[in-house]
Every structure is written in C-alpha cells, then in structure tokens.
Structure 1
Amino acid sequence: MRTKVTLVLLFLNVALFSFLYWLRSSIHPLQEQGGILGTEVVNLQKIEIAAAARPNPIRLEKRGETWMIVQPLMWPANEFAVTRILNELQQLRSEASFAVKDLSKNGQSLADYGLDKPPVTLTLTPATSGNTQPASTVLRIGDTAKVGNRLYVLSPDGERVHVVNRSLVESLLVKLEDLRSDTIFSVAVYEVRSLNVVTGAPATSKVRIARGDGRWLFETPITTRANKSETDVTISQLNALRIQSFVDNPGAEPVRLGPDEMTLKITLEGNNRHETLIVGGRVRDQAAPKPAQTQPSGTALTPPAGPSELYYAKMDDKDPVFEVAMPASLLERLTNAQEKLRDRKILDFDPGAVTAITLSAAGQPDLTLQRLEPTAATPQSFNWQIVRRAADQGPQTVAADREIVDRLLQRLAELSAEVFVSDAPIDTMLEDKGFNRPALRVKISLAPAGATPSATGGSLTLLLGIGVDRHTYAKLDSPNYIYQVSDQVLQQMPVESLAYRDRTIRELPPGARITALKLVDLVEQKTLLDTALPLPPPDGSAPAQNGTPAAATPAEAAPAGAEAAAAAVSPAVRAAIETLVAQIRTLRAKKFVRDEFTKTVVVAGEDRPWRYQLTASLSLVGGNGSQTAASTLFFSERAGGNTEYAGSPEFDVVFETEQPLLDALFTLVYGPRDPGPPPPEQEPAPAPAK
C-alpha cells in the first residue's frame, strides 16, 4: 500500500515539474522581464513609421546587411539612426500597465490615452523564415503621460496599455534628412575593381582605371600603369565624401545638373555592384562644410586637407539631389586623372630578373653588363662582368662592381617622369626631343620568371634624348610615350667600362704576408719610409705578422736594429703604417681614371710624373713553399682635399685612392713637417694689487 502511494506521489511531482517547465519556456525572456515585444524585434526585415504629422509614412527595409529607405524615396538609411530605433525596440520595457477591458469601468476609453487615433503607428515585419511569411506586429503609440517623461503604448494584441519611456518616439520622429545616410560611396577600397571618371564640357574626357594582378592599370584613354598609392588615396577620399544637405525642393533653386553643367561623373565598380556620382555645377551660395562624420568603429572620415567647395550632385540610380563638399585637391586629381593618377615610373621590371644591361651611345663602343651564375661562395647573389666590344677586336671581359651595377639597376627602376610630354608624338616632336639620334640607348635583358640567369626572356629598350631646349627626354621602344626626365640622368649612366669596374684591384690570399714597406720621394730622391714588418709593439711583446703571431714564422724576424728603430716610431706613424698594410692587402680604387698604366698623370690640368713610389715586399705561400715578390704602387701629389692618384704597373691601371690610404700617405709624407696644433693661448698674468 505504501509503495503504491509513493509511486503515485512521485508521478504527480514529475507531472507538476514538467508543467512548470513548459509554462516557463512558453514565456519569452523579454516579456518575462517586462518587455512588450517578443522575438519579432530580434530579426526585423521591415519597419514602417506612420506619423500624423507626416503626409506619408516612412518605410525602412533591410537588404542584405544594409537598411534602405524605400518610401517616400529610395535612399540608404542612416546606420546610427536605424541602430537607435532597433535598440529602443529591443529594450522597450513597461513601467506600468493596465488592461483595456478595465477602462470602461472607470468611464475611460483608448481615446483618453490617444490610442484610438495614435499619433505614431509602428509596423514591424520580421524576416521571412523558409516559405512562411511571418505576420507583422503593429505597435500604437499614444499621448504623453501627465506625470513624468512617459507615454502610452498599446500592446500588439490590443489588450493592455503600457507606460513606457518616451525615448522610443524620439528615435522614430527624427527628420527624414537625419534618417537618410550622408554616405555617398559604400564600395570600400579593397572591393573596388575599377574607377571611371568622365569630365564635363567643354573638354569631355573618359578615364578608366582597373585593378589587375595587385596593381592599377589605365584602360582608357591610354594603356599604361596607374600609381597605386595615389589611386588608393583617391578612392579613400571618395569614400570620405559626405552629403552636406539634401535639396528636397529642386524647383525652388537651380540645381545645375544638366548635361552642359556636369563637372564630373565618377563610378566605382565593386563585386557585382557599382555606384555612380554625378557632380553638377557649383553652388552659388557657399556655406561652411559640415565636420567629418565618424564610422561605427570610431574612426574619423576626414576629407583631404585644403579648401572645399559645394557642388550639386546626385547618384545616377537615385532621384534625390544633394550638396557635396568637393575638396579642391580631389577635384583637380579627378579632372586631370590621366596625369595625376598615372605612374611616373617609366620602366616596369624586376631588378632580380635582369640578365644583362647594354649601354649604347653615339661614337662609343657598346658596353654590356652581364650577370653571371651564382657560385658556391655566393649562392644568394649574382656577380657581374663587363663586356666591351670594339670594331677592331673581339669582346673583352673584366669583373664589374656588384654594388655599382645594383645602383644602376635602382636608378633605372626609379627613373620617373617629371612631365608627361606626349602620348601620341608626331615625327617632328620626336626629332625636337632628340630621338632621331638618341644620346643613350639602354637595353635591359630579362630572364623568364623562375628561369636561370642564362635563359633568354624579354627585353626593354630605353631611349634618352637631348631636346632642342637642352632638357633630357625619355621614351621606350613601345609604347611610344615621351617623358621629360631629370637632366642628371645621362651623367648617372656613363658608357664607360671604368665606371662599372670592380673597385677591388687585388686581395692577397690569407697566407700571404707583407714583410717590408719602402716609400720614396721620386722628385727629391729621398726615402721617407723603410721598415720591416711586422712592427714590434711598443711594449716589447712579440709582434703580430699581419694578423698572425710572430712565433709562427721565427725565421723571418726583422734584424734587431730595424726592430729597435721600428719600435721607436710615433703612434701616428705606427697607425699610418698599419693602415698602409691593410690597404695593400685589399687594394681598392675609389674611382678608376685609366685602364692602362702611364709614366705620367694629369694633376690640376698638368701632365706630371709620379711623385712617390711605394714598394711592398710580399711573402707568398705556394706549392713549392714560401716565395717572395715585390708589389709597387706610384702616387701623385695630392690633387685636392680628398683626391690623390695612384698607378699600378702590375695591374696596368690608374685610379683615385680611397680616403684611408690617402690619409696614411699624408702622415708619412708630411707628418715630420707638421707642427701640430698651435699652443693654447695663455691668459695674461693678473696685475699686482695696489
């Protein structure tokens, strides 16, 4: 008996709890917390606001992710205004309520609360779910309550009157102008596929710039590259344009949007959509532009700096006319887009794909810089060689300086137009600009993508001419566009093998040592330096053999008298000798003067004999043991503060010395005669006290 009662009670408890759970779940959370509206406000598709003070209702419709005003006109809705309405609906709470059926008991009706003919009626339509068309919810908003900042709202089912905060009606009764978005273009920079600009009369022109392979390209009126950064900035500034005010009564003022008054027609094409702005005439009565608006993220949409002017405008697919503040800089850039948005770089190539550069000038043999295959020592870089072809002999090759060739490639890649002269030059213009006999022809040979340097690919040919006005002009073989470039270009691209020769003349192997130095003044027949190496340190410790401890080669130690004399040299002379040793080990030229050694050298415009002779005794390690050799360099007198010439019979070359070698020679030649800095001035002794 007890078991049966227990089971019955347990069953009743389960049934009771199930009923309570169902009852609780059937009440929407918003309603449970005093909310008036339920799930219909979570995913709204349409909103209609009918107000007694307005002749026509305002209808908003969500299309994709954008809210649009579809009545009384077609225009994107202000994102902030719509968000405020949605927030007010979702947070709408009843502060007090009473049943409609109880009104008659108190001798009242809906008319007493302004709900028989409500000032505002709100119709909400949720988004379609599947094939089912959801029913609309109607919310009637009545008069303002007599106490507090409240108003009356009739529930959607018409059974209760709620007292709510009046912030809802304030969000609904904004002016139509404030409900309309002031955004003109909504196609973001990253989405834009093309920019189209048509200028108005009298000089009507059409420009189309399309995106392709990560760059912008002109498609009309010419085919060429556009400046990527300038194009991106222009599109960003178009997106930053804002409507200053709508012209709701076009008949009241001349809006100046006729074909003869059109200033610009601008089209941004995006992903399966496009937006076109027609800019008409200038507004005669100019007002100060409104400040920049702010995006939801808080980022200010600031137009470009500089003056702006108001123009009448409209979107091509919409009727409303508005005023837009066009910055003068943006207007000029769009009006002259063919020049302002054009890429000023003349050559378009990858320096890493260049296999050869051939320089040709009238009256001179061609000079070719040829890229070599990478070696095991330099797998990530390329060496270059100079190839000279003369009419009376075969091609000659010599190592080129990689840094100098890289600078030449950089100059070519950065060669920019100062002025776009002509995109369709006639023969007389080509002759006037010096292209009938170019001052310089540069052919750039390119390897195919992913190919080895020896592979044959395409090529570019640059022509540089000197015009009748003595300015420098450039053009390519194709297309036939003429550019004015810097007049320094020809000086930066000499057709001289010495200009590109490897600056390293000689580098001794690691095992080689310099055992002695002798410097002689050939004019005065005087020995300025004669010392064995390495120099013994001033502290008497074992000297280093050009970087190797002296103990490694004891048989080649200098005589005791020479060591004593060498140990007595001044610190300045010691530093100069050490610099000489380092410079001779790796002999480099600051600049090559001649590619053959001569017994005289031009200094200050005069042909003079060499003034100094420096002889270095070398100890070389070979297959047959140690060998000795002498290396001789000749030096001129100093030709200027930073210029001194050197000649090498061994390498058959004359060159300018680098600064460390020049300073070391100065110390050895003029050091004994240098009086040093003047002594400091002594202050006069104070006068004796009286």
Structure 2
Amino acid sequence: MRFKLTILLLALNAALACIIFYFDKVQSTQNLLDESSRLIINPDFVQDLERIEIKGLQTDQEWILEREKDQWLVSSPFEWKANPFAVEQLIFQLRRLAWESRFPVSGLESSGQSLESYDLANPTITLTLEGGESSLDLSLGAPTEIGNRLYLLSPDGEYIYVVARGLLDSLQRDLEAFLDRRIFSISVEETRAMQIQDRSASNIRVRLERNEDKWAFVSPIETAADADRVKTLLTEWQGLEVEGFENTQEGEITLNGNAIRLSLEGSSERQSIILTPVTEGEEAGMTYLARLEGFPTVFRVQAGKVERLRSVQEDLREKRVLKRYSEDWSSLAINFGELGVTLQRLENDSWQVLYTDKEKQLRSMPAAAEAVNAMKELLNTMEAERFVTDAPSEADLVRFGLNEPQRRLQVRKGSQESVELKIGGLYSDEGQTLFYASTDQSDSVFLVRPYVLSSLSLDPFNYRERIIRKLPGTARISGLSLIHRPSGLAVPMDPESSDIARAVQAALRDFVGTVRVDRFTNRPFSDPLVLADDRELEWKYIVEASVQYPSNPEDAETIRLYLSERLGGTSQYIGDPESGLVGFLPIRMIEILDSFLAEYPDTPEPLEEQPAVEVMEPVP
C-alpha cells in the first residue's frame, strides 16, 4: 500500500511540475510578445543601419555617423573615425527603445494641448536613421514631470510615447564622445611592419618588419632591431590620442621638405600619418600639424615625439649584439695573438678551462660557475654605445685597429652556430674612452665600453674553480696550528682563552675543510713566492692541520697551507705546495685573521711544549 502511495505522489509531483513549466513558458512568451509589441523601431532595421544623423537645439553642429563595411565613421562636423563603443551603445539603446505608455497626437487639441506642450514642435534632439532604402525620424522632447521619463514622437507622427530617458542622457553628453581619439587603431600585437619616411634626411625610408617576436630592419640596411624598444615606440604612438582638431585645410599638410610619414602595417590594413612642423606663431618648433591618411581632418602632435622618429635607425637598432648567444653556448674562446683561453662545457654539464702552458702543452682545469655566469652576463648585457659605420673600407678597418684586434671572442652554440667579436683600437672623443669593435655577422663597426675588454682576461686562472682542495665529509681534523715561520713557533690559539681565538679556530677549521680563494694568480707556488715583477715575497705563516680518515684512522695526513702577511685592504696570498696553486684569501678570512694576529705583533714567546691545538668537535 505504501509503495502505491509513493508512486501516486511522484506522479502528482511530476504533473504539477509540467503544469508550472507550461504556464511559466506561456507567461514568458506573452511577456516577450508584449515587449516586442512595444518596441518603437524594428530591431532588423536597427541592425542594418548605415547612417545616423543627430541634430539638436543645443548645438549648431550636425553630427553624422556613417558605416562603411564594418567600420563606423564620423563625416560631420569632422571627418574621422567613430568610437566603436559609443556607436554600439547608441545602437543598443535604439534596438531596445520601447514605450511604456502612449497617447495619440490627434487627441491633443481636444485636451487643450499641442506638440509644443511636450517640446516636440521644435524637438530637443532629432535622430534621422537610414538603412538600405528606408529611413525614419525620431524626435525627442521634454522630460516628464515625474517618473524620470521622456516624451518621444513616433516615427509616423501619430503617437507621443513615454519612454525611458537613457537615450536622451546619452545624446546630451559631449557628442565628441563619438570620435575615436586614438590615432592608430592597429594594436601593438597586430603590427607586422613599421616604416618612417623622413623628407629632411634625403627622403630616407626606414622600414622594420616583425618575424614572430623578433624585429629587424630591412631598409636602408638589414640588421637586427631591439624588440623591446620597438614595442615601446609602438606603444607610445598607438596610445597617442587626438586632443583637438584644427581648422587647417588638408592641402597644408603635405610631405614637404621637413615632413615625416609614419606608417604601421597590420595583417590586413595599413595606416599612415603625415606630420609637418609648425613654423610660425607661439607653438613654432613645439608642435607638428598631423593628418591621418584617408582623413582630411588636421590635429597637433608634440614635437618631441616626432623628432624621435628621425633617429629610429640608431635608437631602435639592437645594441646587444651578442644577446642571442648568451644562453646555451657550448664553448667560448678568448684570443690575442698566440695567447688564448677557452671555456668548454662537458657532457655532464660541468665546465673546464683549456689553455696552453709555457711549454706549449694543452692543459685543463675545472672552471668556476661564477666565471661562466659572468661570461653569460657579459654576452647578454654588452651594448654597442654607437654604430660608427655599416660599410667600412679596408683602410677604415686598419684605422680602427680591427685588422689586428686586441681580443677575439668566439662563441659557439653546438657545431652549427657561432659568432666572433673583435675588439680593436682606442676611440677617444669628448672625454669618453671607448673601443672599436665588430662581429662576423655584419660589416658594421661600433663602439664598446672599456669594461668589455677588461672582462675578457687571457689569464686561465681567472676562470678556474675557486676551490684549491676540499676534504671529504668523513674526514676529521684532529689537530690545527697557525705557525709563525720566522720563529717557528705556533701562535697561541686556545679556544678557552678568548672569544676571538675560538672564532679564529672555527674559521680555520672550516677553511681547511674547503680551501676556497677569492681569485687565483698565475704565479706558481714557490718559497719564497716570486711575483710578476720578480720581487720575492716571504710566506709569514703556515696553517698546519692533521686530518684523519675512517679508512685509516691511525695514519693522519698533514696539510700545510702557506700565508703571506696582509699586503693591503683586500690582499693576502695563500699558497698550496701540493697543488702548486697560489691565490688570494677571501676578504672575510683576511679580516678574521687580521683582528686575531693584531694581538701578537711580535714573535710569539716559546712555550715548554707546543703541540698542535686540538680542535674541539661540535656537540651533536
């Protein structure tokens, strides 16, 4: 019984839902019919509008909007592009324009009223709409006294409608809102090419074209352009808006001797603007008169923006001539005559330094990641300060010192792609010191800053990994001494004696674990150390450490590192006789040792026994 009752209730609910849906649909249909019956203008007519004419008592200018293909234009009082958003808003309001109440014009006289009573004899605004072979007029009269509504005369003149006043509010605003203030409607993303024709520079035409995300000059020379700067210039001009129109005639804006034409090309259209300088009046030299080709209307543009167009061949040129090689290169060779050094990437993605020693033997050593990154940064950021010439003669190359360059930098990306940079002689002018340079990718000669030359060191140790030696993690430093060589005595370094002694011992222990230098010198280890000018430098201290390994705990290894005295603010030599390497201590280590050794300016006093100081193990 319960089952049958449940089935009955479900059937009744379903039937009720169907009845509700049916009546709701009928009501919705009825509402749509009522709404469509109240529409004043046929929506199909509005959709096919070709001309809109706006006349009113509040303005002596007649505004005419005309559609050409899919674009709306203003043909009066100016000939210019129409604001598509403003036009679409007007068309939307016309399509939805519906009356809320109405009364016949024929009954006005019997009630003692007339069209003048509703401001419809001389309407506030008259709209003339044309589409195909049809047209109609809409007369907007006075607002209602209550309800925030508006009186409107029907197109056939038989009824006065009461409608919402949104249409009147839109038209009573500044009608110049129908003008598209943008000069160029082609966006940055759509722009495929840009051309500047400068009549003041022998009518030269500078043309740039885009290939995917890269921009390049195609005339008057073929070379890479700086994509970021090109986009900045395009953004500046495509964001430029007309502030006001002039009464100047079209014939006054022509390509005269000082004029310039800027053209932007999209995938399906080309837009050009002609600009000529104002030579008279208060704004002479400050503004340019401008005209967009296809429109006779004249407006003004600030002179600064236009003058920058005259130097685009220099300003937009890609000055980072090696940027495309800054990543994913496999080798980098620096040469001067017979001297040279090469950074080479190995199969495991580590790097090595290759060089030829004095015996003409090829040597290799691990390269520092910092040195590789510094080269990548140099390739990425190095800029041509100025381009000197794009067609140098043989005599020019000799004069620029590029026939026997001070540096040759060759960068390879795999086996197919490479570039060579030459740095030539000195260029000095106007107090600025620069060097001539060129690449094998073009004939152009340009100028670079001195830091580029100084960054291309021929010293292979400048690129070497900064670590002299590194103990394995299982090694244990069982003893540590700092020996004053002239006396042969150990400097007291008991960690219980002072905080500074404890800090020095901890720093030395970490340093012996990983002997890292700030930079290397190309002088081999010797005792005393022979410097580049043949002077000899004594090693004043020795860091001596006893190291034990789990594999052989009874047999300790002794490590000795030689230290000079501090020579200057950031200079103190360290030498490793086992590897033969000599470098400079890191500044942090210099300062720690200097503050400690300053307490012992004289020779340490001998003790009865001076065993190596035992290093305290950290508490786990």
C-alpha displacement at 1:633, in angstroms?
1.9
* 1:29 CA drift (Å): 1.4
CA apart distance, 1:358: 0.8
1:39 aligns with 2:43: yes
- Establish whether residue 461 from structure 1 lines up as the match of residue 461 from structure 2: no
Residue 448 of structure 2 is matched in structure 1 by 485
Q: Quick one: distance in 1 between partners of 2:559 and 2:358? A: 35
Match of 2:12 in 1: none
Q: Which runs of 5+ in 2 are unaligned?
A: 1-22, 603-620
Opposite residue 268 of structure 2, the aligned amino acid is N
Give the partner amino acid of 1:189: V
Distance in 1 (alpha carbons) for counterparts of 2:259 and 2:36: 54
The superposition leaves residues 386-444 of structure 1 with CA deviations (integer Å, 9 ceiling, x where unpaired) of 11135853311111112112212211221111112222222232222211210000111
Counterpart of 2:136 (choices 124, 135, 138) is: 138
Corresponding residue number in structure 2 for 1:580: 508
What is residue 77 of structure 1 aligned with on the other side? 82
Q: Are 1:599 and 2:566 an aligned pair?
A: no
Contact 1:621–1:627 at 8 Å: present in 2 too?
no
Say which SS state the counterpart of residue 467 (structure 1) adopts: strand
Q: Corresponding residue for 1:4?
A: none
In structure 2, relative to structure 1, the CA distance for the partners of 1:259 and 1:355 (3 Å cut) is: same
Aligned equivalents of 1:494, 1:462: Cα separation in 2: 14
| Distance in 1 between residues matched to 2:282 and 2:93, nearest whole Å | 38
Identity %: 27
CA contact (8 A) 1:516 1:616 kept: yes
Task: Quote how far apart the aligned CAs of 1:340 are.
Answer: 1.2
1:111 is displaced (CA, Å) by 9.5
Q: Specify whether residues 626 and 168 from structure 1 end up closer, same or farther in structure 2 by C-alpha distance, changes over 3 A only.
A: same
Map of 1:281 onto structure 2:
277
Which residue number corresponds to residue 299 of structure 2? 323
Deviates further, 602-611 or 585-594: 602-611
CA contact (8 A) 1:615 1:632 kept: yes
The equivalent residue for 2:469 is: 506
State which drifts further: 594-603 or 571-580: 594-603
The equivalences for 1:524-539 within 5 A come to: 525-529=487-491
1:182 Cα offset (Å): 2.6
Tell me how far apart the structure 2 counterparts of residues 371 and 139 of structure 1 sit (CA, whole Å). Answer: 79
Q: State the one-letter code of the partner of 1:161.
A: I
Q: Classify 1:626/1:477 alpha carbon distance in 2 versus 1 (closer, same or farther; 3 Å).
A: farther
8 Å contact 2:570–2:587 — kept in the other structure? yes
Is 1:60 the counterpart of 2:66? The answer is yes
- Using the alignment, how far apart are the partners of 1:142 and 1:590 within structure 2? 85
| Conserved 8 A contact 1:145-1:151 | yes
Query: What are the superposed Cα offsets for residues 108-155 of structure 1, whole Å, 9 maximum, x if unpaired?
Result: 9879989799896534357xxxxxx7x745134277699899986432
- 312, 319, 335: which is aligned to 2:289? 312
Match of residue 225 from structure 1: 224
Alpha-carbon contact 2:140-2:152 (below 8 Å) kept:
yes
Provide the residue aligned with 1:272 in structure 2. Answer: 268
- Structure 2 CA distance for partners of 1:243 and 1:468, relative to 1, 3 Å: closer
Aligned CA RMSD, in angstroms, stands at: 3.9
Where 2:49 maps in the other structure, the secondary structure is: strand
Q: Does 1:411 align with 2:378?
A: yes
Corresponding residue for residue 616 of structure 2: none
Residue identity opposite 1:24 in structure 2: Q
TM superposition shift of 1:244: 3.2
SS for the counterpart of 2:232 is: helix
TM-aligned CA deviation for residue 187 of structure 1: 0.9
Matched residues in 1 for 2:28 and 2:476: separation? Answer: 100
Residue number in structure 2 paired with 1:346: 321
Q: Distance in 2 between matches of 1:100 and 1:527?
A: 123
The amino acid of 1:615's aligned partner reads: E
CA deviation map 1:252-279 (0-9, x unaligned): xxx6423324522111111311211111
Question: Which residue of structure 2 aligns with residue 191 of structure 1?
Answer: 190
CA distance in 2, matches of 1:173, 1:139: 18
1:408-447 alignment runs, 5 A limit: 408-447=375-414
Contact 2:141-2:153 at 8 Å conserved across structures? no
Does 1:263 find its partner at 2:259?
A: yes
Listed as ranges, the matches of 1:232-247 within 5 Å are: 232-247=231-246
Deviates more, 1:399-408 or 1:196-205: 196-205
C-alpha distance in 1 between matches for 2:297 and 2:63: 21
Query: Does the Cα contact within 8 Å between 1:601 and 1:607 map onto a contact in 2?
Result: yes
Over 3 Å counting, the alpha-carbon distance change for 1:150 and 1:286 in structure 2 is: farther
Query: Which residue of the other structure, out of 129, 152, 167, is the alignment partner of 1:124?
Result: 129
The aligned counterpart of 1:546 is none
* 1:169-221 deviation per Cα after TM superposition (whole angstroms, max 9, x unaligned): 68558888664333211111121112211112343221112222312222222
Corresponding residue for residue 650 of structure 1: 578
Residue identity in the other structure for 1:141: S
TM-score w.r.t. length of structure 2:
0.80
